Structure 1
Amino acid sequence: MKPPHPQQRSATVVDVAKRAGVSAMTVSRVINGNGKVRAETRLAVNAAIAELNYTPNVAARALVTSREVRIGVIYSNPSAAFMHDFLIGVFEEASVMGAQLTLLGGQDGRPPPPEAIHRLIGSGVGGIIIAPPLGESRVVRDPIHLAQLPMAVVGGYARDAICVRIDDRAAAYDMTKHLIGLGHRRIGFIIGNPGQSASEDRLAGFDAAVHEAGGIETILVQGDFSYTSGLLAGEQLLDIDHPPTAIFASNDDMAAAVVSVAHRRHLSVPEDLTVVGFDDTTAAVTLWPPLTTIRQPVRELAAEALRLLTQEISTSRKVRHPKCLLGHQLIERQSTAAIAG
C-alpha cells in the first residue's frame, strides 16, 4: 500500500534559509531591507525566494508590527533534542513576522499547572502554539478554547485548532518495510507515550507493514519517548531468550538508549543488532553508529504552525481551521544491516 501523498504547503522562511544556505535572520533582513547584507547573499536569498515561490504573509506581519502581537508557546517534551529543533523553528519564523513569543513549559511531558495556563491566556497573547505531546491534552486546550483564542497544535489532532503534523502511520510503515526488506523477521517495537495519537499512528503503521509481509514475529514494549524509558525497554527486549534482530523505537531518544544498552552488553550495532528511530533530531547523529531514522521536519512544523496562526489572527472573520500535513523521509545511516546469509 502506497502511503498518501502529503498535502502541499506554502514555503516558510526556514525553507528559504535552507535553500540559500543562510540563517532565517538573514532572510528576514533581506525581506525587510534592514541591516547590512552582502550583495551575493542578497542574490542567493532572492533566488531561493523565487525558486520556492515564497510570499511573506504581509497582512499578518502588518498586524504583528502595528499591534505588537504576542504568541504563546506551551511545551513539555521529554526529548531535549526535539524541543531544541522545535523552538528554533518557532523563533526563526517569529523573527521574520516580528512576533513576540512567550514560553510556558511543563515537565516530562506533563502540562503546566492550570493556573499558569490561565495566566498565559490573560497576558494578552493573540494566539497559542501547543507543542507535542500536549496538543491533545484537554487540560491545555479547553481553557484556550473557552477564551476563544486561536491556537495551533503541532503533531496532534484537534477539531478546534490549526493542526500541523506528518503522516506518522505512513512513516512507521515505511521504516518497518525497510527492516523487513533487510531480512529481519524478529523485530522489537518500543511504543511511544500512551494516549498520544503519534504513538498510536506509529504503532498502527508498524502493524500494517508486519501483517502485510506475514511471517514476522514482533515483541512490543511500552515507552514514553524519554531516554530513560528507552533504557528500560532495551533491557526488556534484550533479556528475552530469543531477542529481536532489529529494534524500532518510536523516537530517536529511545533508540539512542537502546544503542547504549547494546554497547553495555558488548553487542555490536548493527552487526549483532539493528536499531532505528524516528524524528531525525540531533540525538540521531551524536552517537555511534548514527541512527537510521525517519526525518520529521520539526523546525518546519513549528514554523508552519506559527505562520498559519498569525494568518488566522490577522483575519477578523471566523476561519476554517487548516489541517497541514508535511512530508517525511527515511534517512539511512550506519545503525542498520541486512541479516547475514
Structure 2
Amino acid sequence: MAIFEPRVFSGIQPSGNLHLGNYLGAITRFVELQSSYNCIFSVVDMHAITVTQDPEGLMRRTREVTAGFLASGIDPEKHIVFNQSRVSAHAELGWIFNCVARMGWLNRMTQFKDKAGKNRDNVSTGLFVYPNLMSADILVYKATHVPVGEDQKQHVELCRDTAQKFNVDYAERIAALGYGVENVGRNETTDPEQVFFPMTEPLIGGPAPRVMSLRDGTKKMSSSDASDKARINMTDDADAIALKIRKAKTDPEALPSELDGLTGRAEASNLVGIYAALSGKSKADVLGEFGGAEFSTFKPALIDLSVSKLSPITDEMRRLMDNPDHIDAVLAKGAEKAAVIANPVLNQVKDIVGFIRS
C-alpha cells in the first residue's frame, strides 16, 4: 500500500435546496470525520452547471450549502471549506483525466444513464464526463478517503481506475522525476514501484446514507423533486417541518416491533430511519420503543425530534445567510488553502505528461 498522508475530500452540489438527505447522508459524516482526518470540503459548483442553472440562484445556493456546513459544525479554521470553481486546478486536471479515462468506463456509469434517460443526445457533454471532474476533485489533493453515498461508489471506483492508469502509463516518467511514492506491490517479493496517485477508498455509511422521499419511499430525497413536500429543507421552519411530516406518505398498518416487519414498507422504513438517524439510535431500538404504535402516535414524536435537532441549525444558517460577506470570506480563505495543496500536485502532473510551464 502506498504511503500517502491520510486526507478526506468530499463535496455537495449547490444544484438545489439543501435538504435532510444531504444533512443525514453527508454533512453529519463530514462533521464526524473532522476528528480523525485532515478534511477538505467543497461546494462543487462546477458540477452543478452540468445542467442548466440560474446564475443568481447558483450563487445563493452555493452560500446556502456553505452556511449548512458551518451551522452543522464543520470548522473552516481547522479544515478547508471552499467552492470548487475558485481553484482552477480542478478544471485543469479534469481535462487531463478526460484524456486518461476511457469511453467504455464512462458508458458504464449508471448515474449518467439515470439522469440522461431518453434525452441522452441532448444532455451536456459535461454531464457525461462529470466522473472525470470528480476524479480530479479527489486526486488533485491526493485524498485517501472519500465519504460518499452508495450511489456515488461507482464514481470512486472510476477514480481508482483513472489513478491506476495514470500511474502505470507514466510510471517511468514518475520515477525519473522523483515524484512517486513508494508502493511495495501486491506481495513481499514484488520490487517497489513508484506511484503518483493513491488508490482512494470510499467511506460508505453515516447515520442515514440514503434518505428517501416523504412522498415516495422508493425514491431518494432530492432537491429536484417537483413537490417541495417530498423533502425537508434545511431552511424550513418548525411549522413547515411539522406539516411535511404529518403529510408524509405512510400505510395503514401499525409500526412493527421487529426489523423484518419493515420489509416491503418503504415509507414506514424511511420514517423510522430518519428518527433513528436524528436520535442516534438504531432502527431496531426505534421499533423497540414504537413497535405496535400507529403513525398518529409516531409522527408527532418524529416532528418533535426533527424540530429540536434541526431548528438550531436552521437558525444559524439563516444568521449566516444574512451575512453573505462572511460566507464569501470563508470560501475565499478556504480556496487559498486548497490551492496551496492542489497547485503543486497539478504542476507535477504537467511535468509528468510533458507540458512546458516555465
Tell me the TM-score normalised to structure 2 length: 0.30
Judging by fraction of residues, say which structure has more helix: 2
